[in-house]
Every structure is written in C-alpha cells, then in structure tokens.
Structure 1
Amino acid sequence: MRRVRQAVSGGSYTKNRYRKTHQLQRRVSALVFDERHSQIRARDFAVINIRLQWPPTVNNYTTVARGRKILSDRGRKYKRRSILELMEQHAPRGLKGRLEVKIDAYPPDKRKRDLDNLCKPILDSLQDYGMFADDEQIDVLRIRRREITRPGHVRVYISEILPCALT
C-alpha cells in the first residue's frame, strides 16, 4: 500500500502531503463548480487582465528523464498554481482569433534575468488552462520589466486582434 501511495504522490508519503493534496482538490472542485455557473465569455472582454506568480526559469522548468524532456517538479507546481490562480480570477476560456499578449514582469529581486525566459511557462499555463487552443494564435508578444516587488509576479494582458489591425 505504501508503494502505491508513493507512486501516486511522486515521493515519500506523509499525512501532511495527503492533507495538502486533498485541500487543493477541494479548492479546485469548488472553483470548477463556480466557473460552470458564472457564464463568463471571452468575447465579453476587450482586454483580459491576469495576475500570476513569478514563473520558474527555463533551466528549472524542464528536466531530462530517460532521454526525454519533461516538466520538472517546479514546472508542474507552477502550472498547478497558475491554473488555480486563473480559476480564482474567473479568467475566460476559448479565445478563438489572433491574439496580442503583453506581459509586465515585476521581478522579486535585483538579479539579472532574461525577459524572454518568462514567456514559455506563462504561455504554457494559459494554454493548459484553456484560454486559447495553441500559442500559435499569438501574433504580438510584448514583455516589459517593471519595478521590483516581493514576491515577484507578472501581469498578463490579452486582447484579440481585429483582422484589419494585422496589416
């Protein structure tokens, strides 16, 4: 039985870990219930404004296991927390057209960072949440460094591009 629990939890089994996982599942199910009844549609918004936590670096986002590139533990935790944050903010799903994404990055400290490394974890989380089908829909992507705040976070602004605006 212990080995089954270890395989499911991804590590050593503790009561605390089980409790946290159970609390997370209850939170997600409550948010899913709320979202089904909230009737928020993507087309109702001109610009979608989302606040997410500071993403892990690309070096910590993926790892290599058995010759394949997979999400690391930090990457999986970031995706889970980001999807919960999106549900709590009642972010819409199913954007269809061409998109413009602006990211304001508020770093947690003064370390040197490449801004282009922020995009992958953020866009993957938005795609897994179902905000858009594929990040291929994004035609305009802008990233801007802002002032230092603790803990660091990012603001994501998403808007649909009108067909006449592409030329």
Structure 2
Amino acid sequence: MHQLTLPYPPSVNTYWRHVGPRVLISKHGRQYRTEVCNQLRTKRIKPIEGDLIVDITINPPDRRRRDVDNVLKALLDSLQFAGAFEDDSQIVRLTIEKHEPLPKDGKATVRIQALPADMELIDARTCLRCGYVFDSEGPHNRICNVCTMINRGLPECMPVVRGLKRHNGKVIR
C-alpha cells in the first residue's frame, strides 16, 4: 500500500493547452508532475501490479467552488508518470472526498492498494478507521474486524454534545 500526501493538483481546465493543432500539458501541469515524481522518488516507491483500489481525499487551497472530478486527470496521470502504478486502467475502484480547505496550500492525500487476489471486488471495502482493504460482509460493513474489536473497547456511554458529529468516539468536523 502507498499512502501519499501530495500538493493540490491543477484543474483539468488548466492542465491542457492548445498549441496550434496539438494539445499539450501546460507548464503548471508539468511542474505538478515533476513535484509528484520527486516525492515518489524520495520515498522509493515501486509500481504496484494487478487491480488497484485508490482512495483520494482533497483539501482545496481556498473556499472557491470546485468540482472534485476536475483534479482526477492531473493527479492520476502524474502518479502513473511517476511510477506508482503501470497504467491507470489498473484502477478498479476509485473514491474521492473533498474536505475543508487548507489556506494557501491545499493537498491531496492518496492511498493506493492492490486488490487481494483472493478477494472479489464486490466484497472488498476500505476500512474507514485504518484504511486497509478487507473482505466485507456487504456494503453496510465499512469497518474491518480488527477495528471493530478496537471500537468495542471504547466506553459505551459517550457524552452527547449537540451539533458535533462523532466517529469512533472522536469529534469530526
């Protein structure tokens, strides 16, 4: 499994440039690709083979309205170019979530995992607590058995505070 924290990717609207009859990756897109390559090179990441499950969490750099699908092309192409996987056609499940903005920076957290050979795609889920792929009992089951046992160790009476959401006993925003 690879877990990476990358800079916020350029939008597909700024990733490509038309130069005469040709379509090229823009200067901003090439710079982003170089940043991703450098980060993967320093972590010495090797390509994962086989079917992949990719989970992406993005934190935009500001509060402007943004479509989550506009960042996928630059992000996945850069990961492929950097050697995280051979080809993005290996991806059999792709999830993306948009969270609160991180002023000035923005970031994309990417988790790439191989689908275990003995597991069917329909049964594979990513645990919401630990992030690993596990053999699920159905779409309602989103916590692996190990994390379920850990959760059972939490106190049964968690104080209820109006207006706050909790996940595994922790306040989420």
- Runs of 4 or more above 3 Å deviation: none
Q: How many residues align?
A: 120
- RMSD across aligned C-alpha pairs, in angstroms? 1.2
Matches within 5 A, 1:15-164: 47-88=1-42, 90-150=43-103, 151-163=105-117, 164=119
Q: SS at 1:95's partner residue?
A: coil
Which of 96, 113, 120 is equivalent to 1:165? 120
Contact 2:80 2:87 in 1 (8 A): yes
2:156 maps to which residue? Answer: none
TM-score, normalised via structure 1 length = 0.68
Deviation sequence 1:29-53 (CA, Å, 0-9, x none): xxxxxxxxxxxxxxxxxx3110100
The separation in 1 between residues aligned to 2:68 and 2:77, in whole angstroms, is 16
Given that 1:99 and 1:138 are in contact with CA atoms closer than 8 Å, whether structure 2 keeps it comes out as: yes
Q: Does the 8 Å CA contact 2:47/2:84 hold for their aligned counterparts? A: yes
User: What is the identity percentage for the equivalent residue pairs of Structure 1 and Structure 2?
Assistant: 36
- 1:10-61 Cα deviation digits (max 9, x unpaired): xxxxxxxxxxxxxxxxxxxxxxxxxxxxxxxxxxxxx311010011111110
Structure 2: which 5+ residue stretches go unaligned?
123-173
Following TM superposition, by how much is the alpha carbon of 1:121 offset from its aligned partner in structure 2, in angstroms?
0.7
1:136-161: CA deviation from partner (whole Å, max 9, x where unpaired): 00000000011211310000001011
Counterpart secondary structure, 1:159: strand
5+ residue gaps in structure 1? 1-46
Q: How far 1:80 moved relative to its partner?
A: 0.7
2:47 alignment partner, SS class? coil
Higher RCO structure (Cα 8 Å, ≥6 apart): 1
What's the secondary structure of 1:100's corresponding residue? strand
Residue identity opposite 2:49 in structure 1: K
Q: Which has the higher helix share?
A: 1
